[in-house]
Structures are given as C-alpha cells and as structure tokens.
Amino acid sequence: MDLQDDSNQNQIGDLKIRTVSLSDMNRLYYIEIHSFKSPFSMETLSKLAQIPNIIYLVAEIKQFIVGQIITSLRANEAHIISIVIDKDYRRRGFGSILLKKTIEKLHEKKITKLKLEARVGNKSAISFYEKFNFKPVKTKISYYSDGEDALEMVLNL
C-alpha cells in the first residue's frame, strides 16, 4: 500500500457537519442541479434554510461542501425533504453521516418517526434507506411532476 497517496481514500476524518448558511447556496444549488431531475431552485433552498422547523445540515471537507440533508419537523414526526451527496463524493459514507447526525438531533427533540419519499426507480437511494432500516409503507402513484411513482418509507426512531 502506498501510504503517501491517500487522495482517493474516503476522507471521513476530514468531514465536518454543520448547519447551513446562506453563503452556501451557490454550491448547494450546483450539487442539486447535477443530482436531481427536478432540482430545488436557489430561492427554494434559501427559503428552506430560513424556516425554523427545519433541520438543514451540510457536510464539508476542508470547507468544500459535499452534500446536504434537509428535514422538516412537525409534532412528533419528521420528514426528509432532501438528501444529496455530490456525485464525485458518493459511496464513501458521507450520506450516512449526514443522516445519523439528523437522527441524533431528532432523538434530542423526542421525535419518534422519520418519513420520506423516494422515486421508485432510485434504487441506490432505496438501498441507502434500507440500510438504515427504513421500511416501505406505500406507493404514491404519479407523485413526481414527470409521472414517476414515489415509495414512501418510514423509520421508527
């Protein structure tokens, strides 16, 4: 093993999770448009960053943002509005760390249920959620604007 060349290793030790700031919006919008068929606009991301009942966390490596998770809170239930990791940084455990941090915050707030919708064709996201023990509860027909169905998944916390 070449100990000097770790540029492609998973960099988990350098990962920092923090609350979003409005100055992050350009980078977050870039990640959105390169990851989703129907990305949030920059205006929507900025609004979400300012709503009190939302936990909006970003993951960064040496001050370079690699992903985000946005979760809304209502009574004792929470809903993942979005989770995304930059394409070049996927499958290194960063999405898991963002989700774990969110779950920690939900435990502190005594929230007992976490829900989300995923495109039925988004097999990688569904595998990701299954690893966290989310269970499929229903299919929402033509949930997305292009007609694709959504799988609703729930995790009891």
Give the interface with ligand COA as residue ranges (CB under 6 A). Answer: 35, 83-85, 90-96, 118, 122, 124-125, 127-128, 131
The encoded tokens of residue 6 equal: 């770790």
> Sign of the C-alpha dihedral, residues 96, 28, 36, 139?
positive
Nearer to ligand COA, 44 or 96 (CB): 96
Minimal distance, residue 2 CB to ligand COA, in Å? 23
> Which residue is at the shortest CB distance from ligand COA?
95
* Locus of tokens 């269970």: 135
Considering the complex, what minimum distance in angstroms separates the CB of residue 41 from ligand COA? 17
C-alpha 98, offset from chain centre: 7
Q: How far is the CB of 89 from ligand COA (least distance, A)?
A: 7
Which lies closer to ligand COA via its Cβ, residue 29 or residue 128? 128
Residue entry with tokens 């929230």: 111
**Tokens 């023990």 -> residue:** 133
